Amino acid sequence: MANSKSALKRLRNSKTANLRNRSRKNELKTLEKNLRTAIEAGDAAEAGKLHKLCCSRVDKAAMAGTIHGNKAANKKSQFDKLINSLAK
């Protein structure tokens, strides 16, 4: 257990950040699952909207430090490949 005031505050802040990061990661997983489902169903309009939303949310998560910038770039690349496979 933390002994100093600053350590206690750091503990509170890290718990808050942990909840925020977990929420963001869960949202990203849900959006990715919805995108993959729309692509498998062949729904180009819905997939296009979800693709734009997924890329935006991945960028925001990377900016906030929830995920690494390279992981964000890799995810966006995967999304682009999925969307391009729909066009074939």
DSSP characters over 44-88: HHHHHHHHHHHHHHHHHHHHHTSS-HHHHHHHHHHHHHHHHHHH-
- This prediction has a pTM of 0.86
How do the pLDDT tens digits run along the chain, 88 residues long? Answer: 778 999 999 999 999 999 999 999 999 999 999 999 999 999 999 999 999 999 999 999 999 999 999 999 999 999 999 999 987 6
CA distances in angstroms from 74 to 62, 66, 67, listed in the order given? 12, 15, 11
Q: Which domains does the chain have, with CATH numbers?
A: 25-87 (1.20.58.110)
Task: Supply the pLDDT for residue 24.
Answer: 97
Q: Is 31 helix (H, G, I), strand (E, B) or coil?
A: helix
pLDDT at 2: 78
